[in-house]
Amino acid sequence: MSTVFAVFLAGMFALAALTKLRDLKGTRAGFVNLGLPMPDVLVWAVPVVELAVAIMLLVAPGWGGVAAFALLLAFTVVLVTTITSGRLVPCRCFGGLSDEPVSWVQVARNGWLLVIAAVASLEDALGRPPLAQLVVAVMFLGVGMISIGWADRRLRVEA
């Protein structure tokens, strides 16, 4: 199961990094809207760190899982700080793929990803998981994505 989670997270971090790099202007604006310091540095540093974590998850999944957990925790702190400040700013967590405002849905998603990162950190090296672990991991990922999508749609309807 750890192997599946490490590969999933690697893909997610690579996607997040590449979408940010594809739209540097929008990424910088996102960092400014979030009130983060040094947006000109972060516009490059965040995607580079995300790519490094993605590679770590594939090369040394245990340490990659730890790095993913730390990065996700930092992102979650930014999200919670933004929400509690009352500011309505786009998340831009995956670059320009979404301009939805930061909400508790992203915090819930990050909580789910933190669990995945914690499990991925238990893996020493990527290997072929037994079928039962693969099925359980895929089911966990699927249920998580469906649940977060459902919560997102429900919050939009109520807003």
Identify the residue with better confidence: 154 or 101: 101
Q: Which of 9-13, 74-78, 109-113 has the highest mean pLDDT?
A: 74-78
pTM for the model stands at: 0.84
Whether residue 31 has pLDDT greater than 90: yes
Among all chains, which residue has been given the structure tokens 């310091």? 37
Output the average pLDDT for the chain: 86
Confidence of residue 36 (pLDDT cuts 50, 70, 90): very high
Contacts 24+ apart (CB under 8 A), 93-100: 93/16, 94/15, 94/16, 94/19, 94/20, 95/16, 95/18, 95/19, 95/20, 95/21, 95/22, 95/23, 95/26, 95/27, 96/19, 96/22, 96/23, 96/26, 97/19, 100/152
State the number of CA atoms in the 13 A half-sphere of 54 facing the CB.
Answer: 16
Where are the chain's structural domains? 2-158
Report the DSSP beta bridge partners of residue 101. Answer: 90
- 10-24, 54-68, 119-133, range with the lowest pLDDT: 119-133
Q: What is the pLDDT of residue 155?
A: 62
Taking Cα atoms as reference points, which of 108, 112, 113 lies closest to residue 68?
113
Q: What is the pLDDT of residue 48?
A: 97
Report the DSSP beta bridge partners of residue 90. Answer: 101
- Phi, psi (5° rounding) for residue 102? -55, 135
pLDDT tens digits, one per residue of 60-110 = 999 999 999 999 999 999 999 999 999 989 888 887 777 788 989 889 989
